[in-house]
A and B are shown apart, each in its own frame.
Chain A
Amino acid sequence: MESGSLVTTSMNPSSSINTEADAAADPLLQVTGLSVASRDRQLVQGFNLTMNRGERVGLIGESGSGKSMTSTALMGLLPEGVNAVGTVRLAGREGNLLTASDRQMCRIRGNDMTMVFQEPLTALNPLMKVGPQVAEVMVKHKNVTGRRAAKNKAVAMLASVRLPDPAQAAQAYPHQLSGGQRQRVMLAMALANDPELLLCDEPTTALDVTVQRQVLDLILESVRQRGTGLLFITHDLSVVANVCDRVLVMNKGVVVEEGSAAEVFTRPRHAYTRGLLAASDLDASDEDGRLFTVASAAAYVPPKIKEVLAPMPAATLRAPRSQVPESHGSPGGPATGVEPVISVKNLVRTYQRGRTSLFAKPLEVQALRGISFDVQAGQRFGVVGESGSGKSTLLRILAGLDQPTSGSVRVAGNEVAGARESALVDLRRQLQIVFQDPMGSLNPRMRVQEIIAEPLLAPGQKVDSARQRRLVAQMLAAVDLPADSAGRFPHQFSGGQRQRISIARALICEPRILVADEPVSALDVSVRAQVLNLLSDLVDQYQLTLVFVSHDLGVVRHICDNVVVMNQGEIVESGATEQIYEHPQHEYTRTLVGASMSLRSELAARAAQSKGRFHANL
C-alpha cells in the first residue's frame, strides 16, 4: 500500500503548523504506532499523531474508516473484545495510556482529556437533571468542593456555552432541551475541568444546519480561548475546513494523507483524498454535468486558493443542466396552462398533544399552517427545512399516508383530503417514495426480488411472476446493481446499494412522481454523489416529477430546479433554486443559506481570516 509512505508529516510537526507558538515544547499528545483490532479484524493500523498544545487537528474518514475507534482507543474506552497496541502519551502524565490501569485512566478521563459525542439525544442520562450531570464531572475530579459550589460552577459552565437562562437550564432534564442545547450541555461537561485535550466525535452531525454552525463556532471559540487541543473527528470535509489547522484522512484503518487543511483540500496527493474531495464538492461537476464520484475523481480539479479567495462565480461552477432539453420549462413561473401534477392549497395539519391539565384544552401543534404550492410535470422540486419545519408531515400527506386537517391536496389527479384508503390506490401507483434510512425501510426478511416486485402486487395490477422477474431484472440494471442481487437479502448490501434497491422498488410500477425523503443523508460522502447522479439520470430517463426533501441545501441546490423553504409549518420562500440561493429574500432563508457549509465557502472564510499567514504557507 502506498499509503504507508505518506504518513510522515507527523514526525515533523513544525512543518505542518507554524502558527502556534512553541512547537518545541513537549507535545500535548503523542501517538505512535497505534493499532486497534478486534478478534477477527484489524480496525486501525499504524496510527501516528503528534499534537501540540492548543492545536486543532481534524480526523476525516467515512464509516468504517476506523476514526471513531481511534478516538475511543485514546480515551481507553474501547468496547470489550477490541484491543489496542502502540503508545499514547499525554503531556503531564507518565507512561503509556494504553497500558495504564482503568483507575489511572479514570483520573485522566474527564479531567485532562474529555470527549463530546455525536448523538446529544442519547449521550446524556435521561433521568438526571442537566446541572448535576455537569457538576458531577467537577466533583469527581475534586475540582470543586461542596455541593453548592459545584452547583454554581455548573450553572457558570452552562452560561459559558451560552445556554439561555443557565440557572433554569440546570434544572431541566435532557428531553426538555433541543438537540443544539443538549450538545451545548455536553460541551459544558467536557470543558468543565479545563482539559488539555478535547476529542469531538462528529459533534454536529445530528444537528440542524443553523444549529450546527452555532455549535461549531462555540467549540472553536471555546478551545481558542482556553488553549485546548482539539481532535475533531468527522466525515464532513467542510466542517473540518472551518475548524482545524491540520487534517488526517483515514481510509480502512490507515491514515492515507496528512497535512495542513489548506494543503490537503487544495492539493490532495492521495487518490482517496481526491476522490473524497471530488465526491463531496457539490459545486463541481464533470463535462456531462454530473457530480464527481470516487471513480471519476481523476478529472476533478480541487478548489484553487485563488479561486477560493475570490468570491465564487457560482454559475460557472454549477452543472449546466438547464441546457438539457426539457419539455417543461419556466421553473417557478405560473402554470403554463397545463394542470400541475401536484397542487396543494391552504394545507393545514394540526396534531393534538396529550393533556397536561384537567380543564385546559389540550395543546395543539400546528405542523402545517396553510401552505400552497404547485409542482409542474417534469419539475425537480426541492423542499428544504430543518427538523420541525413540517416537511415530513407534508410528505406523508402527499403520499396519502396522513390526512390534512383542512385544505386540498391533488396529486396526479387524485384528491388526498378526505379520500378513503381504496381511493388512494391510483395515487400510490403514481407516486412512490424513497426513504431516508435504507436499512430501516427495507424488510430484512425479504429477498431483493420480493422487495422490488412488491409494488406490483398492489390491487388492480396483474403481473405474472415471469414478467415480475423480468421487470425486477430491468430495474436492477437501471440502478446499476448486479443481476444476482435479486436472490439476496438487504443486509448483504452496503448503504448506497440499499438505497439503489429502494429506488428500484420505487420505480418499478412506473410512477409519475418520485418523492425522495432525505435519500442521501444517511450515506457516506463518496456514495452520496453516486446515488445523486443515479437519481438525476433516472428522473430524466423515466420523465419523472421529482419532489426532493432535504435539510441539506447543497444537495437540493445541485439537484432541483425549484425550491420551497419551510420553517415552522409555513413556506417562507419559494422560487427557482438559483434565485433563492443567490438572492434570498426572507430572513430565515438568509440564515439558512448563511449557515450551510460547502468546502469552498469554508476554505474561503478561513483564508480570508488569515490571509497573511495563508499566503506565507503557499
Chain B
Amino acid sequence: MVVRLAVNVVRFIVTFFVATVAVFALMRAIPGDPAQISLGVNASPELLAQTRREFGTDRPLIAQYFDWVSGLPQGHFGVSFVTRRDISDMIADRVQVSLILVILSMIVALLIAVPFGTLAAVRHRRTSGILISGISQLGVAIPGFLAGIMLVVVFAVGLGWLPANGWTPPGQDFGDFASRIVLPVVALASVQGAILTRYVRSAVLEVMSEDYLRTARAKGLGKLEALVRHGLRNASIPVLTVTSIQLAALIIGAVVVERVFVIPGLGSMLLDAVGNRDMLSVQSVVMVLVAITLIINLIVDTLYTVLDPRIRKQA
C-alpha cells in the first residue's frame, strides 16, 4: 500500500513536469509576440524592445521555461502580459469558485444517482425501473446550459424565489452565497446525476448477476439486504472511475453554466484568457487543471486500494 502510494506520488510529479514542457511548447508554438499584442500594431521598436525585456520574452525559450517552471511549486505563475495583474491571485480566486461549484454539484449528483441507479437496476424489469432509465436517458441528452436557463426562467424570473445569477464568496455572506449557488448546482447536478445514474444502474445490474450475490441469497439474506451488504461496495468501483473522470471534466466543462449564471470560475478565466491571447494566463490555468486532474486521480487510486483488497498487495 505504501509502495503503491509512493509510486503514485512519483508518477504524479513526473507527469506534471512532462505536462509543463508540453504546455509551454504548445503555447510558444502559437505565432504572435506578447509585447506586440500588448502594445498594439503601432508601437515603436524601442517601446517593443523595452516591453519584451519587461516581460522577459527577449530571453532564450529555455530560460523562460525555467523561470516559469521554477515558480510553479510555490504557486508563482507570473504577471499577465495583458491584464498586468498577478496571475496567482486570479487563479486562487477562480479555483475556489470552481471547486466549490463542481464538488457540490458532484455530491448532489451522486446523491441522486446512487439511490435511483440502484433502484433502476433492482427494478429493471418493472415500470419504475424503466421510468428511471428513461428519465436519466433524457437527462443525459439535455445540455447543462439549457437546464440552467430553464431553471432561471422558472425559479428566478417566474417565481422569484432565488437570484438569477452572480457569486458571493461563502466567507463574506453565507446566506447570499447559498441562495446564489442553488440554481447552478442544480443545473450541473441534474445532468451529471443523469449520467451517473446510468453508470450506477449498469454497475449494480452487473453485480446482481455475480455468483457471490447468489451465495448471499443462499445464506438467507433478502434481496435488498444481499445487495446492500455484498453488492454496493463491489458496484462502487466502476462508479468511482466514472465519477473521477466526470469530476475532472467538469472543472472546465462547467464553463457554459458559469457563463449562464455569471459565475467567475476557472473555465471562464480560461476562455477570457484565450480570447485575449493572454498566453501566460492560459498556460497557467492549464497547469492548474493538470494538477487538479492528477490530484483527483491520486485520490481515486488510493480509494481503489481501500475499497478493493485485491489491489492492495499483489503478492
Contact = CB atoms under 8 A, between A and B. Distances in A.
A64 interface: no
Interface stretch (A19-27, A45-53, A104-112, A561-569): A104-112
Contacts of A175: 309-310
B211 A123 contact: yes
B230 to A, nearest CB: 5
A77 B218 contact: yes
B308 interface: yes
A140 B221 contact: yes
Contacts of B216: 125
A124 B215 contact: yes
A80 B209 CA distance: 11
Contacts of A80: 125
A140 B212 contact: no
A110 B219 contact: yes
Contact of A354 (B210, B217, B314): B314
B14 interface: no
A106 B313 CA distance: 36
B207 to A, nearest CB: 10
Nearest to B210: A122
B218 A109 contact: yes
A127 B6 CA distance: 24
Contact of B220 (A109, A119, A355, A356): A109
A125 B230 contact: yes
Given A80-B125, A117-B211, A355-B3, A126 B310 contact: yes
B315 A363 contact: yes
B21 to A, nearest CB: 27
A136 interface: yes
A123 B310 contact: no
Contacts of A461: none
Contacts of A457: none
Contact of A111 (B6, B211, B215, B220): B220
A108 B234 contact: no
A15 B308 CA distance: 53
A240 B9 CA distance: 56
Nearest to A124: B212
B210 to A, nearest CB: 7
Contacts of A189: 215, 219
B130 to A, nearest CB: 14
B222 interface: yes
Interface in A85-117: 102-103, 106-111, 114-115, 117
A123 B222 contact: no
B312 to A, nearest CB: 9
A403 B125 CA distance: 50
Given A127-B234, A353-B315, A117 B215 contact: yes
A126 B236 CA distance: 13
Contacts of B313: 356
Interface string B173-211: 000000000000000000000000000000000000011
B220 A107 contact: yes
A127 B219 contact: no
A141 B222 CA distance: 12
Nearest to A115: B218
Nearest to B308: A127
Contacts of A81: 125
Contact of B222 (A106, A119, A122, A136): A106
- Size category, A interface: 35 or more
B211 A122 contact: yes
Given A123-B212, A123-B214, A173 B309 contact: yes
B11 interface: no
Interface of A is mostly: loop
B85 interface: no
Interface in A294-347: none
A118 B6 CA distance: 40
Given A125-B230, A126-B308, A117 B223 contact: no
A136 B309 CA distance: 19
A244 B229 CA distance: 36
Given A123-B214, A127-B307, A108 B220 contact: yes
A77 B315 CA distance: 36
A367 interface: no
- Size category, B interface: 20 to 34
B28 interface: no
Given A125-B234, A173-B309, A356-B314, A117 B214 contact: yes
Contact of B212 (A126, A137, A357, A358): A126
Contacts of A117: 211, 214-215, 218
A522 interface: no
A608 interface: no
B233 interface: yes
A117 B214 CA distance: 9
A75 interface: yes
B223 A102 contact: yes
Nearest to B216: A125
Q: Which of A108, A186, A354 counts the most B-chain CB atoms under 10 A from its CB?
A: A354
A140 B220 contact: yes
Contact of B234 (A107, A111, A126, A137): A126
A128 interface: yes
Nearest to A134: B219
Contacts of B215: 117, 123-125, 186, 189
A111 B220 CA distance: 7
A140 B215 CA distance: 14
A90 to B, nearest CB: 14
B304 to A, nearest CB: 11
Nearest to A108: B220
Contacts of B308: 126-127
B3 A358 contact: yes
Interface in B209-256: 210-212, 214-223, 229-230, 233-234
Contact of B315 (A108, A110, A173, A356): A356
Contacts of A123: 211-212, 214-215
Nearest to A192: B219
B211 A140 contact: no
Nearest to B234: A127
Interface in B53-109: none
Given A109-B217, A125-B212, A356 B3 contact: yes
A103 B222 CA distance: 7
B39 to A, nearest CB: 54
Contacts of B230: 125, 128
A75 B218 contact: yes
Nearest to A357: B3
A106 B220 contact: yes
A127 B307 CA distance: 7
B310 to A, nearest CB: 5
A127 B233 CA distance: 8
A11 B38 CA distance: 100
Interface in B258-277: none
Contacts of B214: 77, 117, 123
Given A123-B211, A127-B307, A173-B310, A114 B218 contact: yes
A77 B2 CA distance: 43
A109 B230 CA distance: 17
B9 to A, nearest CB: 12
Contacts of A107: 220
A63 B125 CA distance: 28
Contact of B314 (A75, A119, A127, A353): A353
Interface of B: 2-3, 6, 125, 210-212, 214-223, 229-230, 233-234, 307-310, 313-315
Given A103-B222, A125-B215, 16 more contacts: A77-B217, A77-B218, A109-B218, A109-B219, A109-B220, A110-B219, A111-B220, A114-B218, A114-B219, A117-B215, A119-B211, A123-B212, A125-B234, A126-B309, A128-B230, A186-B215
7 contacts: A77-B218, A102-B222, A122-B212, A127-B308, A140-B221, A355-B3, A363-B315
